A and B are shown apart, each in its own frame.
Chain A
Amino acid sequence: MKILVCISKTPDTTAKIAFTDNNTKFAEAGVQWIINPYDEWYALVRAIELKEADPSTVIHLVTVGGTDAEPIIRKALALGGDEAIRINTQPLESYQVAAEIAAVAKDYDLILVGKETIDYNGGAVGGMLAELLDLPFVANATNFQLAGTTATIKREIEGGEETIECPLPVVVSCQKGVAEARIPNMRGIMAARTKPLKVVEPAATEPLTEYRKFQLPPAKAGVKLVSPDNVDELVRLLHEEARAI
């Protein structure tokens, strides 16, 4: 079986969020970059677990990014995966990224993506990729099991979960529950240095959207503290001032 895992580079969860160039660009100075947590913790780790269960499984990783994305894809290889593909262009928006990945994503039995990236929060690449490849797609999976060529997938729905059976190939976006987190070991890190990392030139997809301007959310007015001996006052404020209850 061949699995493709899509990897994004994102700022660390604790990175300071600021913008430059008249608020048109994310301020990258001093930012630590990580593998998008949903891609790493759920999509990639589930692929590794599947390979552990069936060692004949081949895992390929793909990322859309410049040379600045190489440390991230190497780190992903250190966790697991047999080889990686870097599509040599800066990611601009969901459709461009999905179309670039679709060009190299033929002939996989399973394509795993994280449910969204923690920077642009679109969660659209998986669905777009599925449509471009004409494959079934399950969004926000919380569990993924495989028996032969049939996948049994649980996904989150409003107020519950749905269980879906689906033949391979399929595209699945992964969230919490799909796999348990793990840390790369020294052997994996050393091995990752010699694993193939193929650089392919982009298909030059025209983006359909454009991030024009960023802003920070308006600051909170500050917390109004109420004494623990006067809880009625909190309820009054929530009822009359915030109109929340």
Chain B
Amino acid sequence: MSVLIFVDQLDGHIKKASHEALTYGAKIAEQIGETAEAVVLGNTNEDLASLGQHGVKKVHHVQAEGLNQFDSQVYTKVLVQVAEQTGAKVIIFSNNSSGKALAPRVAVRLKAGLVAGATALPDTSNGFVVRKNVFSGKAIANVAIKSEIKVISLNVNAFTISQGEGTAEVVPFNATVDTAKTNVTGTSKTSGKVALTEADIVVSAGRGLKGPENWGMVEELADTLGAALACSRPVADAHWRPHNEHVGQTGIAVAPNLYIAIGISGAIQHLAGVNRSKTIVVINKDAEAPFFKAADYGIVGDAFDVVPKLTAAVQKLKGK
């Protein structure tokens, strides 16, 4: 019996979100008295034994040419084989681009109930109840999984990675691998240096910046902080910034440790995409901007004055 964690890779490197999922899965295994095991598909550049640091005892490594590109049907069939052979009771995914395609499929195949977007460890005192955000972060739901096998996808940045001592046993797993119907013909990286959905810090700007030519100071602040860039919907709609930087209810939802909003008033639709951020800083010259109500820290002031000062102050801190 096991708690099985799917380890997601990009270019042979394990995504940060998977380290969160591994930590989360190992904690659940401890809680219900099972062993935490991980599964890695395709070639890897990582030392898989080191995943033991998160509390995982065994890593099943399935290697086949057909697994070096992502296809949800092919991956699902392999994961189901691993789940069945290891007697997985709980299967963990990250609720990221891969998990969103895989968790529903694997759940159906195993007749397992799925909670997509978990934010905390399950409560197993009365059944198996998982907490998740609903109404775009405006409420929290406690969802009971009633099936024997449970599938959970963990929200990105919802769980802190813990690293201790430990080495996992890496075992090759022989699986039947189908030929994919889909074919990945290309990938492109977006402009930002840090992936928006995985970023610890996000610097976001809105209409208060007045025009795309003024983004230099925002980029400088983001670079100084090692942050990803984001923007509000009107900015993306006006093509000041690319659509893949648009955060909000209809754009990308983010949950970084720190979200800095510059010149964004904080419409309810924008808040719905950022309200899971741990700390929110708002810089706006309008003291009545609704965003201040959702913020932890704020500066009422002109972005053109405050942002360069903030960059300098962060540089000073980092220089210490």
Q: B137 near A: Cβ within 8 Å?
A: yes
Q: Are B146 and A165 in contact (CB under 8 A)?
A: no
Q: Are A118 and B116 in contact (CB under 8 A)?
A: no
For the complex, what is the distance from the CA of A67 to the CA of B117, rounded to whole Å? Answer: 30
Q: B34 near A: Cβ within 8 Å?
A: no
| Total residue contacts A-B, CB cutoff 8 A | 276
For the complex, what is the distance from the CA of A127 to the CA of B97, rounded to whole Å? Answer: 12
B132 neighbours in A (Cβ, 8 Å): 121
Q: Are A17 and B139 in contact (CB under 8 A)?
A: yes
Q: Are A208 and B146 in contact (CB under 8 A)?
A: yes
Q: Are A238 and B299 in contact (CB under 8 A)?
A: no
Q: A223 near B: Cβ within 8 Å?
A: yes
Q: A139 near B: Cβ within 8 Å?
A: yes
**Which among B107, B112, B145, B275 has the highest number of chain A CB atoms within 10 Å?**
B107
Q: Are B299 and A228 in contact (CB under 8 A)?
A: yes
Q: Are A130 and B181 in contact (CB under 8 A)?
A: no
Tally chain B residues at the interface, Cβ within 8 Å. 98
Q: Are A159 and B292 in contact (CB under 8 A)?
A: no
Q: Are B104 and A94 in contact (CB under 8 A)?
A: yes
Q: Are A245 and B72 in contact (CB under 8 A)?
A: no
Q: Are B140 and A214 in contact (CB under 8 A)?
A: yes
Dominant SS at the B interface? Answer: mixed
For the complex, what is the distance from the CA of A122 to the CA of B116, rounded to whole Å? Answer: 5
A93 neighbours in B (Cβ, 8 Å): 113, 143
Q: B50 near A: Cβ within 8 Å?
A: no
Within 8 A of B (CB), among A126-165: 126-128, 130-132, 134-140, 142, 152, 155-165
Q: A189 near B: Cβ within 8 Å?
A: no
Q: Are B316 and A232 in contact (CB under 8 A)?
A: yes
Q: Are B137 and A217 in contact (CB under 8 A)?
A: yes
Q: Are B116 and A160 in contact (CB under 8 A)?
A: no
Contact with B107, one of A128, A214, A217, A227 (Cβ below 8 angstroms):
A128
Q: What are 11 A-B interface contacts by the 8 Å CB criterion?
A: A13-B268, A13-B269, A17-B135, A17-B139, A121-B132, A124-B104, A125-B104, A162-B187, A176-B251, A215-B142, A228-B302
Q: Which residues of A contact B (CB under 8 A)?
A: 11, 13-14, 17, 19, 37-38, 41, 93-95, 98, 118-128, 130-132, 134-140, 142, 152, 155-167, 170, 173, 176-177, 207-217, 220-221, 223-228, 231-232, 234-235, 237-239, 242, 244-245
